[in-house]
Structure 1
């Protein structure tokens, strides 16, 4: 069995706190600057708007780029989709999702308004008289039928195939403002509830100061995830929210191991003269190998998942895996290099520096495994 431990037991992690924070701040600021300039790649759940999913059956040799170009030309040309573009969204985004042999799905973001055959702007959210559905779904509006017909003709001409040898299926999806606001609100509530529950748990198990330090580390992880997701233009949708909540739960586990070690070191009579800085540094060094090994093994599996999903065209899995990778790296960084240091400075701020508990604390199972 490989024993992966750090020989240097005198790493000055707390003393380098402000340098380590500066690295994180640089990434966070870069992300928010990019967000202010270029915006986030918001999914339709958070920005509102309309999605058109185009599935081509029984046709394996379709040229994805040409197919995308034709649809965009149709939207911007014949139907004048530009006039209805929301400047804050990435309107003509497209993904190819190969679901099985002979079947490929392309997803397009379109504007909420387009011109009809008479040149009149059509609001896709309008519900025609006598109908219960918006116009995008309504049989009297050409969005679905004419797009299907246009693409079918183009494939016949482009690839010189019989129209009966394949099928084009159009599936529109509309997210209105009410649904968008509901989704955004619930996403924030989900993340907030997770953080509050974790704060309560850490405060009860360790101390309120340890709880605050853990929450600072979690907020760091979330901000890093948001920043890198913005920089690399990963879609921000409900899949991303699921990734954030997953990382919140995963990251706190590594932080708990560090604070377990801190608590046990504080209780040792031999450490009665040690300062909070010395205790924190020793706790981090003692758990660093465990944190690195568990994170790396998880990273390897998630990276493989991201690569395979990209090859297979599974968009949803890729959009989940990539933010998870960002969060895992951020979680390793915060639990190992920030959380204990934040604890030291919070203890100083609340005038509890160098206070030791009056009784011994039994070693936790997690820390016992680290020492084994």
Structure 2
């Protein structure tokens, strides 16, 4: 049997480390002015521009370089590269009146001066107002909370409530860490960023459920072991699967980050960090929270058992009879005490027969 690693022994150190990083990152984010909101969550211009490939062959990097003097700019390719159609987005900082028309004309002037009047055409131009962007931001956060609630309900149904609460604690940790990372690095917050956060929630949940499933299985096969030992054993048994899955996922996502550009590259970077944090939280956040929750439940059971006879605790949650040994483990009472109480109850039950006595023979 492989050596069991004592993950629960360092749980307080790891939780404290996470708290320090998240709090420090939050302070740093707000000290530099908050999140770098894209026009999905802030007012701005969205424009589609086509450059005739017959006149001039250009890349998205060259278009970005040509428009580099404009602040808050984002340029991405639309469709096939050979079509040379680009999506240009610019944030409205509130310093220019009639921002949509002014900025749209300015972009066209710069591109036509660089590539020629006949080569550049405007396909579409629209202005996203502040009210729409605020509604979109609110809906995105509502979506995250709805996802967390549905996850809570699913895990509570499949496992127990303590498992569900522990999984949610790990997911909240992951979301908080991702938001701090996005804020400190000033990655633009867009719909792609929200998609990355939701993807990480699903990935982290998958890792957590694998470990929880092994813990639930070992609760039945290791009845005589303490719960911290069960958790350490379960994590050790699942460790190779968790590490291999994370490494293979990171290889795929890293290749996207290396070869992609723009919003896709930011999406891949968020996934890289999220996979690492999700793996970390399933081991060092979810399981310690489960241990704490389980210990709290057992303490409450012992207090309740102290107020009434231990034999009354024989029925499990499912309503099935348990052995005196399992009742002792659940209530904290000794097995001998439970057996004595059972014997006393049987002896005092109505219809119970006393010790047999020999009949006296009648004298003739």
Partner secondary structure for residue 40 of structure 2: helix
Contact 1:151 1:168 in 2 (8 A): no
* Structure 1 gap segments, 5+ residues each: 1-6, 73-90, 116-121, 125-135, 157-161, 360-372
- Specify every segment of 5 or more residues in structure 2 that has no aligned partner in the other structure, as ranges: 303-315, 323-364
**Aligned counterpart, 1:341:** 288
Partner of 2:66: 67
Q: Are positions 1:322 and 2:269 aligned together?
A: yes
SS in 2 for 1:105: strand
Contact 2:38 2:188 in 1 (8 A): yes
Give the one of 184, 187, 208 matched to 2:161: 208
Q: Distance in 2 between matches of 1:322 and 1:298?
A: 13
Distance in 1 of aligned mates of 2:43 and 2:233: 50
Range that drifts further, 10-19 or 95-104: 95-104
d(CA) in 2 for partners of 1:259, 1:113: 50
State the Cα distance separating 1:95 from its structure 2 match. Answer: 3.7
Residue 289 to residue 229, structure 1, CA distance change in 2 (3 Å)? same
Per the alignment, residue 137 of structure 2 pairs with: 184
Candidates 15, 26, 29, aligned match of 2:23: 29
Deviation of 1:282 after TM superposition, in Å, equals 0.8
Cα offset, 1:114, TM superposition: 6.0
Seen in structure 2, the aligned counterparts of structure 1 residues 334 and 142 have a Cα distance that, compared at 3 Å, is closer
Other structure's SS at 2:36 match: coil
* 1:50–1:175 CA contact under 8 A, matched in 2: yes
Count of residues in correspondence between the two structures: 301
Conservation of the 8 A alpha-carbon contact between 2:111 and 2:120 = no
1:111 aligned residue: 92
Counterpart CA distance in 1 for 2:286 and 2:26 is: 23
Deviation at 1:351, TM superposition (A): 3.4
Higher RCO (CA 8 Å, separation ≥ 6 residues):
1
| 1:92 corresponding residue in structure 2 | 72
Match of 1:308 in 2: 259
> What do the CA deviations read for 1:208-259 (whole angstroms, capped 9, x no partner)?
1111000001111111211222222222111111122222122111111111
SS at match of 2:88: strand
Distance 1:146 1:243 in 2: 33
Which residue pairs with 1:144 in the alignment? Answer: 104
Q: Quick one: which of 9, 17, 38 aligns to 2:11?
A: 17
User: Does structure 1 conserve the Cα–Cα contact (< 8 Å) formed by 2:45 and 2:103?
Assistant: no
Whichever of the two has the greater Rg, that structure is: 2
Q: Of 226, 245, 270, which aligns to 1:294?
A: 245
In 1, Cα distance between equivalents of 2:17 and 2:161: 27
How far is the alpha carbon of 1:146 from its aligned partner?
A: 5.4
CA contact (8 A) 1:50 1:109 kept: yes
Q: CA deviation at 1:294?
A: 0.9
Secondary structure class of the residue paired with 1:214: helix
The 10-residue stretch of structure 1 (21-30 or 235-244) with the greater mean CA deviation from structure 2: 21-30
Q: Distance in 1 between matches of 2:230 and 2:265?
A: 41
Query: Which ranges of 4 or more aligned residues in structure 1 deviate by more than 6 Å?
Result: 353-359
Please state whether the residue corresponding to 1:109 is helix, strand or coil: strand
Residue 50 (1) aligns with residue 70 (2) = no
Mapped partners of 1:100, 1:317: distance in 2: 15
Secondary structure of the residue that 1:226 maps to in structure 2? Answer: helix
Tell me the secondary structure at the aligned position of residue 172 of structure 1: strand
